[in-house]
Amino acid sequence: MHTVTLIPGDGIGPEVTAAACEVIAAAGVAINWERVTAGAAAIDEFGTPLPQPVLASIAKNKVALKGPLTTPVAGGFPSVNVSLRKKLDLYCNLRPVQSLAGIKTRYENIDLVIIRENTEGLYGGAEFPVGPDGAVASRSITRAASRRIAEFAFEYAVQRGRKKITAVHKANILKKTDGLFLACCREVARAYPDIAYGEMIVDNLCLQLVQDPHQFDVLVLPNLYGDIVSDLCSGFVGGLGLVPGANIGRECSIFEAVHGSAPDLAGKNQANPTALILSAALMLEQLGEKEAAGRIRQAVERVLKEGTRLTPDLGGRATTAQYTEALCKALQKT
Ligand code: NAI
């Protein structure tokens, strides 16, 4: 029996996390879920979006499955997602973007891995008003954080048999900050002569991705570019409802979808839970439940391929609950 922290989250979070828990149970993995509240949902109860029991639970269990958390735009409380990543030092945001059987898009056979630095860059929250009509945000890039994300990317490539890493930057303009990030990637690359290494300016990367995503394998990026490029790449495989992710640190990991709390769908039983279910499969792999993780992926592909129980984002009319039920039934056949 594994004990895992569960953060249902805001918006569609409670619906998609409930679906993931059902699917894990149907795959036969026993998990003792330690449920904690964070985000907008925690403010009424605790007066803060990140109550101490959330951090304590993750620090104890080392693994969490998390629904999306809302961050108010321009004002309100700071991002709980950023705080969790920084406080627990979850320095790597890993996002595998892969085509799924049954999902037709303009792109076929996509198999990209996004490795995003998760603790610094523009996400430090260092913003200041300058007089009544100006504002400045400061961006921090360090050698330590840049080297360890580059090392993660190369080690990941070695372990997973990936062939090529592209470091993404804007060092033509941000000469000191992205310049340092790039210098660290180059240094680390020298220790891995068997992995091809390339570099690309982020605006050209966006063009190249849209024109021919197959030229890339693993992308390693500073925080903001990784965030933006993740949503772009999710479009290759059918959208945000399908792409999983993991926030990985030396001590703890939080598994969550790339998507946010989708307020437009909250409470409507229409969200696609696949992204969180595939994030849960990544979590099961880390917990040593590789066979169950594989069966969950097979069940997802089987239901998507059958195409009769698709959620509205994929052109279907099934509810979150109906799609989840179909997955649980498919798991009985795998
Ligand atoms: P979003 O990812 O929530 O939604 C963007 C679009 O994708 C919307 O049209 C939404 O309906 C659709 N979508 C997202 N997930 C879906 C799913 N599972 N099934 C079907 N359609 C789905 O991004 P948005 O609107 O920019 O952000 C909303 C809130 O989420 C904000 O407060 C933001 O800060 C937060 N957020 C939280 C994240 C996290 O907790 N890791 C990540 C990204 C955003």
Q: Is 323 annotated in the active site?
A: no
CB atoms within 10 A of CB 332: 8
- Is the pLDDT score of 334 beyond 80? no
Q: Which protein residue has the closest C-alpha to ligand 1 atom 42?
A: 260
Instruction: Give me the pLDDT at residue 293, please.
Output: 98
Of 3.40.718.10, 3.40.50.150, 3.30.450.30, 3.40.640.10, which CATH number belongs to 106-237?
A: 3.40.718.10
Q: Is 231 annotated in the active site?
A: no
- Is the pLDDT score of 45 beyond 90? no
Q: Which protein residue has the closest C-alpha to ligand 1 atom 4?
A: 262
Q: Which atom of ligand 1 is nearest to the CA of 245?
A: 41
Q: Which CATH architecture group holds 1-96+239-334?
A: 3-Layer(aba) Sandwich (3.40)
- Model confidence at 239, pLDDT cuts 50, 70, 90, reads very high
- How is the beta sheet containing 92-98 ordered, strand by strand? 31-35, 2-7, 63-66, 253-255, 246-248, 92-98, 111-117, 218-221, 164-169, 196-201
In contact, 16 and 257? CB cutoff 8 Å: yes
Q: Could you state, in order of their start, the residue ranges of all structural domains in the chain? A: 1-96+239-334, 106-237
Q: Which atom of ligand 1 is nearest to the CA of 16?
A: 18
Q: Which protein residue has the closest C-alpha to ligand 1 atom 8?
A: 262
Instruction: Give me the pLDDT at residue 144, please.
Output: 98
Per-residue pLDDT tens over the stretch 86-119: 999 999 999 999 999 999 999 999 999 999 999 9
At 289, list the tokens: 């439940």
Q: Which atom of ligand 1 is nearest to the CA of 69?
A: 40
- Is the pLDDT score of 41 beyond 90? no
Cβ neighbours of residue 131 closer than 8 Å, sequence gap 6 or more: none
Task: Tell me which of 170, 178, 197, 313 is the catalytic residue.
Answer: 170
Instruction: Give me the pLDDT at residue 76, please.
Output: 77
Per-residue pLDDT tens over the stretch 171-206: 999 999 999 999 999 999 999 999 999 999 999 999
Q: Which protein residue has the closest C-alpha to ligand 1 atom 6?
A: 262
Q: Is 203 annotated in the active site?
A: yes
Q: Is 197 annotated in the active site?
A: no
Per-residue pLDDT tens over the stretch 272-305: 999 999 999 999 999 999 999 999 999 999 999 9
Based on the number of CB atoms within 10 Å of its own CB, is 27 exposed (0-12), middle (13-18) or buried (19 or more)?
buried
- How far does the centroid of ligand 1 lie from the alpha carbon of residue 99, in Å? 20
Q: Which protein residue has the closest C-alpha to ligand 1 atom 5?
A: 262
At 12, list the tokens: 């569609």
pTM of the model: 0.96
Q: Which parts of the chain are beta strand (E)? A: 2-7, 31-35, 63-66, 92-98, 111-117, 127-130, 134-137, 164-169, 196-201, 218-221, 246-248, 253-255
- What are the pocket residues of ligand 1 if the criterion is a CB atom closer than 6 Å to any ligand atom? 12, 16, 68-71, 81, 240-241, 256, 259-265, 271-272, 275, 313
Confirm whether 1-96+239-334 and 106-237 share one CATH topology.
yes
- Model confidence at 257, pLDDT cuts 50, 70, 90, reads very high
CB atoms within 10 A of CB 185: 25
- Is the pLDDT score of 60 beyond 80? yes
- How far does the centroid of ligand 1 lie from the alpha carbon of residue 150, in Å? 28
Per-residue pLDDT tens over the stretch 13-25: 999 999 999 999 9
